Amino acid sequence: MASSTPKNPKPQPDRTRRSERSRQAILTAALDLIGESGYQRLTIEAIAARAGVGKQTIYRWWPSKAAVLLDAFVALGEEAADGGTELPDTGDLAADLKAVVRATVDELNSPRFDAPSRALAAESVVNPELCAQFTERVLEPQLELYVRRIRAAQEAGQADPDADPRTALELIVGPLAHRWLLRTLPLTHAYADAVVDLALRGLTPR
């Protein structure tokens, strides 16, 4: 805003608005096309046609369709985000983790989320560059929230201070991802609760 001059009062905001509209149209088109016919058949040409922009507009902002996919997924996550930047801390670690994991189950089971998130996961498994960007931009910030919540529980005496929070969160997130990715068994709230309970209690008798 400070860079606008009296003679040409609002060039930047207009261009920015137009760019932002194109960007949104491109990401929405990519998500729709992935949902309709899958990521493997997705082309930059098809995204451009659906979004009503030129191919060059897409190539100016993204080097590949994988890069479009990642940004489309990030936009989808921002759409769904409830604005929270920390996990809940009611003082009850089990209840807080169950609330978060149940919400994750609902997201993983939602049709709007399914095709793009499966596409992104599948591509990340075989594409180390995309995977590195996905984990850095999307996954690790989420996992860090678990680490902070578990550390708070350790400080409050509700979690074993000798346990590694990173390993602990992977015992919760890993089973969910495994069941979702490989569709072994239904991903339900009951399963979310069972995973949290067993991760907290452990398999050996108390």
DSSP SS3 for 175: helix
Please identify which residue in 20, 144, 155, 164 interacts with a second copy, judged by CB under 8 A: 164
Please identify which residue in 25, 49, 103, 143 interacts with a second copy, judged by CB under 8 A: 143
Please identify which residue in 118, 133, 137, 147 interacts with a second copy, judged by CB under 8 A: 118
Please give the Cα distance from 131 to 135 (Å, whole number).
6
Please identify which residue in 96, 123, 149, 187 interacts with a second copy, judged by CB under 8 A: 123
φ and ψ of 8, to 5 deg = -135, 75
Asked if residue 58 binds a second copy (CB under 8 A), the reply is no
What DSSP designation does 198 have? H
Report CA-CA distances (Å) from 148 to 24, 40, 89, 198, 206: 33, 37, 10, 20, 26
Please identify which residue in 23, 27, 31, 39 interacts with a second copy, judged by CB under 8 A: 39
Please give the Cα distance from 109 to 111 (Å, whole number).
6
Closer to a second copy by CB, 22 or 124: give it.
124
Asked if residue 91 binds a second copy (CB under 8 A), the reply is no
Least Cβ distance, residue 183 to a second copy (angstroms): 6
Would you say how long the chain is, in residues?
206
* Number of residues counted as binding a second copy (CB under 8 A): 57
Please give the Cα distance from 26 to 42 (Å, whole number).
12
Q: Give the number of other Cβ atoms within 10 Å of residue 124's Cβ.
A: 21
Asked if residue 175 binds a second copy (CB under 8 A), the reply is yes
Q: Which residues bind a second copy (CB under 8 A)?
A: 38-40, 93, 118-119, 121-126, 128, 131-132, 134-135, 139-140, 143, 150, 157-161, 163-164, 166-168, 170-171, 173-179, 181-185, 191, 194-195, 198-206
